C-alpha cells in the first residue's frame, strides 16, 4: 500500500505540474495575442517609423500558422504598397507626426513601380513640411530608389551604397540534361518566348538578348531618371560607369565613397541616427535606451487610419504572383480562388471593377478562368479598369484583356504574348541504367505519353498543335480587346516583353497611371460624384494573429530587426537567390504543369529572391527537434 500511495502522489504531482505549465502557456499566449493587435494606445506624438524588414508587395501572402511554425523558416516581412502609401499620406496630414523615419537595415527590395509610388508619397509628405529620414547599413538599387526621396539619408560608417542596375545572368541546363540523359521536350510559340531556352540551349539566343537589352535598357533609364530627379546632387555617372575608380578614390571605404558621390548625406551609427531624430521629434518618454526617440509604428498607425467606406462600392480584385490552378493565395493567384472571389462580389452591386495585376502569368487554364469571371462582371454593364503594377506579362496580360481601359506605368513590364510547355522524358536515362520499355500498341497513341519509352511522333505533333491553338486563342483575345487584327497582335507578340512606355506606343496599354488613376477613371465612368464612393478590396483576408505568429517563428520583433546586411551580406543574398532560381527551374521542368503563359524572361520578383533565404526561428527549431 505504501508503494502504491507514493506512485499515486507522483502521478498527482505530475498532473499538477503539467496543469501549471499549460496554465502559464495559456496566459502567455493570451498576453501575446492582446499585445500583438494594434491599439489606439500605441499612437504617439513623434515620428512615424517604417521598419522595412522585408519586401514591398502588391498583396501579402496568407500565413498558415501550422506550416509557419513547423517549416523551420523565418517569415519574410511583407508590406503592401497601398498600405505604405496610405500610411505616409495620413502622416503628412496629421499634426502628431513630426517626421517619417524609414529603417532599411533589413530591406529586401520591391518592384520598381511600387517603389516609385512610395517615393511619390514621400515627396508629398516633404511638401507638407514633414522631414523624411532613412537609415541603413548598406543601400542597394531598391533601397536607394526610396532613399532618394528622403530629406536625409544616413548610412552606417561600416556600410555603404552600391548601384548595380538591372540585368545579370541566368542558368542554362542543356549540357547538364544531356549528361543526365534527360530529354526536355519543349513545345512553344513565340520567337522571343525564351522562357524554355535554359532547357535546350547553353546560352542566350540572339532574339532573347535583343529583347532583354531593350527591356532592361528602358527600366534602367527610368530608374536613373526617377533617382536623379529626387536627388539631383547624386553623381550618377561616377557611381555607375566607373565604380572601381570611385571606390578606390576613398581607399575602399564604401561609406565615405557613398558620401562623396552624394548617395548619402551623413554617416553615423544607429544610436547617432536615433539621437538626431530625437532632436526633431522628441525623446521617447518610455524607452531610455541610447538613440531611442518618440515614434509610432506602422501597424497601429495603419489601423488608426483606415479608409472611409461611404457611398457606392468600387471593387478591386488583386491578381498577384504566379497564376496557378486551384485555391492558392493570397500572394499567389490561384485561379479557383480569384474566380470565386469575383463571383461572390456579383451580389455586392459594384459600381465598377478595377483589376489590379502584378503577375508574370502562369497556367493557361487558370488565366482563362479568371478572365471569364471578370467577363461576368462586365456583362452587368459596369466599367472595368485594369491597373498594371510591376508585372502584367503573359498570363498577366491574358487576364487584362477584358478591361475597358488599361493603365500602366513606364516601368511596368507587360506583353510576353506567347505560350509554352515543357515535359521531360527519361528514355535515354532509363536505357543507361539497363531499363528498357517494350509492348504492343493498337494505335499511335496507345500508352502515350510514355515518360520512360519516349513520345511517338504523333504525340509530339499533337502537343505542338495544342500549343499553337493556345497561341491563336491568346492572339484572338488580345485582338478583340485592343481592336487590332490577329496579324497585328502577332507582330508585337511572339513572346516579346515590353516596358510600359513602349507598350503604350504599340497599343497594349491605354494610358499612364497607377491604381488611383484607374479607380478615379472607373468612378467617373460609373458617374459617381466625388466623396460618394469607396474602394473595397475583394477577398482581402486579414489575419489578426499575424504578429503573434511572426513572434513565435522568428523569436520576436527584436530578433527580426537585429543586425544588418553590408555589401558582403548582399553578395551572399545574391548567391542564395541564384540557388533558389535553380530550384525553381528544376521544379518547372519536373513539376506537373499544363500549358503555360508565363514570363520567365521577366525579372525575378523580390518575393522569389527573398524566399531563397531560410533563417530559423526558435519555435520552428524547437518543433523540428521534437519531430526529428
**Catalytic residue set:** 193, 394
CA 400 to chain centre: 19
Contact 301, 520 (CB under 8 A): no
Instruction: Write the CA distances from 124 to 32, 85, 224, 263, 389, integer angstroms.
Output: 36, 10, 20, 21, 21
Kindly tell me the burial class for residue 321, based on how many C-beta atoms sit within 10 Å of its own C-beta (0-12, 13-18, 19 or more). Answer: buried
CA 211 – CA 202 distance, rounded (Å)? 18
CA 90 – CA 289 distance, rounded (Å)? 28
Question: How many CB atoms neighbour CB 234 within 10 A?
Answer: 22
Query: What are the residues whose beta carbons fall under 8 Å from the beta carbon of 368, sequence distance 6 or more?
Result: 398
CA 104 to chain centre: 17
Contact 565, 105 (CB under 8 A): yes
CA 413 – CA 406 distance, rounded (Å)? 13
575 CB-side CA count, 13 A: 6
CA 271 – CA 105 distance, rounded (Å)? 13
Alpha-carbon dihedral of residues 202, 204, 206, 209, nearest 10 degrees? -170
Contact 177, 183 (CB under 8 A): yes
428 CB-side CA count, 13 A: 10
| SS3 label, residue 106 | coil
CA angle at residue 304 from 299 to 308, to 5 degrees? Answer: 120
CA 382 to chain centre: 30
Cell numbers found for residue 328: 492558392
CA 611 – CA 549 distance, rounded (Å)? 18
Query: Which of 398, 399, 412, 415 has its CA nearest to residue 514?
Result: 412
CA 175 – CA 493 distance, rounded (Å)? 30
Question: How many CB atoms neighbour CB 428 within 10 A?
Answer: 14
Q: Max alpha carbon distance in the chain (Å)?
A: 96
Which helix H or strand E contains 255, and what residues bound it?
helix 254-260
Instruction: Tell the residue number behind the cell numbers 532592361, with chain if given.
Output: 216
Q: How far apart are the first and last CA of the chain?
A: 41
Contact 457, 586 (CB under 8 A): no
CA 29 – CA 53 distance, rounded (Å)? 24
Amino acid at each position: 500500500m505504501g508503494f502504491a500511495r507514493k506512485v499515486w502522489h507522483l502521478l498527482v504531482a505530475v498532473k499538477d505540474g503539467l496543469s501549471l505549465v499549460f496554465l502559464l502557456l495559456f496566459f502567455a499566449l493570451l498576453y501575446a495575442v492582446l499585445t500583438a493587435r494594434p491599439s489606439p494606445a500605441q499612437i504617439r506624438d513623434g515620428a512615424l517609423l517604417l521598419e522595412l524588414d522585408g519586401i514591398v508587395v502588391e498583396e501579402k501572402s496568407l500565413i498558415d500558422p501550422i506550416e509557419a511554425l513547423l517549416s523551420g523558416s523565418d517569415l519574410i516581412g511583407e508590406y503592401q504598397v497601398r498600405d505604405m502609401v496610405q500610411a505616409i499620406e495620413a502622416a503628412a496630414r496629421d499634426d502628431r507626426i513630426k517626421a517619417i523615419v524609414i529603417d532599411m537595415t533589413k530591406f529586401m527590395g520591391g518592384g520598381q513601380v511600387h517603389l516609385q509610388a512610395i517615393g511619390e508619397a514621400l515627396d508629398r509628405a516633404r511638401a507638407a513640411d514633414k522631414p523624411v529620414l532613412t537609415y541603413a547599413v548598406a543601400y542597394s538599387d531598391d533601397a536607394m530608389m526610396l532613399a532618394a526621396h528622403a530629406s536625409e539619408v544616413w548610412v552606417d560608417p561600416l556600410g555603404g551604397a552600391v548601384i548595380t542596375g538591372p540585368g545579370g545572368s541566368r542558368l542554362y541546363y542543356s549540357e547538364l540534361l544531356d549528361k543526365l540523359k534527360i530529354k526536355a521536350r519543349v513545345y512553344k510559340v513565340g520567337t522571343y518566348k525564351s522562357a524554355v531556352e535554359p532547357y535546350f540551349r547553353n546560352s542566350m539566343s540572339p532574339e532573347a538578348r535583343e529583347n532583354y537589352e531593350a527591356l532592361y535598357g528602358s527600366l534602367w533609364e527610368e530608374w536613373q531618371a526617377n533617382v536623379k530627379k529626387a536627388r539631383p546632387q547624386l553623381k550618377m555617372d561616377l557611381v555607375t560607369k566607373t565604380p572601381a575608380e570611385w571606390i578606390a578614390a576613398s581607399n575602399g571605404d564604401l561609406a565615405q565613397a557613398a558620401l562623396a558621390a552624394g548617395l548619402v548625406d551623413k554617416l553615423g551609427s544607429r544610436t547617432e541616427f536615433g539621437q538626431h531624430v530625437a532632436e526633431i521629434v522628441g525623446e521617447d518618454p518610455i524607452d531610455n535606451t541610447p538613440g531611442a526617440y518618440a515614434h509610432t509604428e506602422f501597424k497601429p498607425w495603419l489601423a488608426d487610419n483606415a479608409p472611409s467606406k461611404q457611398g457606392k462600392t468600387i471593387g478591386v480584385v488583386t491578381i498577384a504572383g504566379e497564376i496557378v490552378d486551384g485555391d492558392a493565395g493570397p500572394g499567389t493567384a490561384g485561379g479557383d480562388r480569384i474566380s470565386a472571389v469575383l463571383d461572390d462580389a456579383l451580389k455586392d452591386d459594384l459600381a465598377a471593377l478595377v483589376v489590379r495585376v502584378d503577375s508574370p502569368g502562369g497556367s493557361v487554364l487558370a488565366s482563362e478562368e479568371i478572365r471569364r469571371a471578370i467577363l461576368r462582371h462586365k456583362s452587368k454593364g459596369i466599367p472595368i479598369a485594369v491597373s498594371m503594377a510591376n508585372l502584367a506579362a503573359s498570363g498577366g496580360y491574358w487576364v487584362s484583356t477584358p478591361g475597358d481601359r488599361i493603365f500602366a506605368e513606364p516601368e511596368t513590364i507587360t506583353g510576353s504574348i506567347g505560350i509554352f510547355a515543357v515535359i521531360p522524358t527519361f528514355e535515354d536515362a532509363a536505357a543507361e541504367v539497363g531499363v528498357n520499355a517494350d509492348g504492343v500498341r493498337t494505335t499511335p497513341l496507345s500508352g502515350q505519353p510514355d515518360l520512360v519509352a519516349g513520345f511517338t511522333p504523333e504525340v509530339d505533333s499533337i502537343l505542338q498543335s495544342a500549343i499553337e491553338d493556345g497561341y491563336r486563342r491568346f492572339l484572338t483575345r488580345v485582338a478583340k480587346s485592343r481592336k487590332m487584327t490577329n496579324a497585328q497582335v502577332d507582330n508585337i507578340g511572339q513572346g516579346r516583353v515590353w516596358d510600359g512606355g513602349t507598350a503604350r506606343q504599340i497599343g497594349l496599354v491605354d494610358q499612364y497611371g497607377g491604381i488611383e488613376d484607374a479607380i478615379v477613371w472607373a468612378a467617373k465612368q460609373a458617374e459617381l460624384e466625388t466623396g460618394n464612393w469607396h474602394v473595397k478590396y475583394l477577398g482581402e483576408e486579414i489575419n489578426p494573429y499575424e504578429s503573434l505568429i511572426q513572434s513565435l517563428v522568428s523569436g520576436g520583433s527584436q530578433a527580426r530587426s537585429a543586425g544588418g546586411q553590408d555589401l558582403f551580406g548582399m553578395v551572399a543574398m545574391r548567391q542564395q537567390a541564384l540557388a533558389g532560381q535553380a530550384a525553381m527551374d528544376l521544379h518547372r521542368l519536373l513539376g506537373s504543369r499544363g500549358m503555360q503563359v508565363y514570363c520567365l524572361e521577366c525579372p525575378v520578383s523580390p518575393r522569389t529572391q527573398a524566399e531563397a533565404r531560410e533563417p530559423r526561428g526558435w519555435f520552428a527549431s524547437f518543433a523540428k527537434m521534437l519531430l526529428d
